[in-house]
């Protein structure tokens, strides 16, 4: 998966813990205030027959420190499934 602050250009890689239709749980070292909006893309290619990813604008609900990383909980404000893998 990758994420960036809404409206920014540079993506950052992260490790996905859990994905659902309403939200996402991922690991990062970056702190975010609750309510921060992120653009998120998660590759679904491994579970699909063709390259696909989920693209969303999501809001940070909370972060919890676990083993020197931050477990970050997001709620999707809007999301869509997109054909093809991430574009550069």
76-82: Cβ within 8 A, 24+ apart: 76/21, 76/22, 76/23, 76/24, 77/37, 79/21, 79/54, 79/55, 80/54, 80/55, 80/56, 81/44, 81/52, 81/53, 81/54, 81/55, 82/52, 82/53, 82/54, 82/55
pLDDT value for 31: 96
pLDDT in tens, 49-87: 666 778 899 999 999 999 889 999 999 999 887 776 666
pLDDT value for 47: 56
What mean pLDDT comes out for the span 37-41? Answer: 96
| pTM for this prediction | 0.85
Please report, for the chain, the start and end positions of each structural domain, with discontinuous segments joined by +: 2-81
């Amino acid at each position: 998966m990758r994420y960036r602050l809404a409206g920014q250009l540079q993506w950052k890689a992260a490790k996905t813990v859990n994905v659902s239709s309403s939200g996402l749980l991922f690991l990062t070292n970056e702190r975010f205030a609750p309510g921060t909006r992120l653009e998120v893309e998660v590759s679904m290619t491994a579970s699909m027959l063709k390259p696909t990813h989920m693209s969303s604008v999501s809001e940070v609900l909370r972060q919890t420190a676990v083993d020197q990383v931050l477990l970050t909980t997001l709620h999707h404000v809007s999301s869509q499934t997109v054909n093809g893998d991430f574009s550069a």
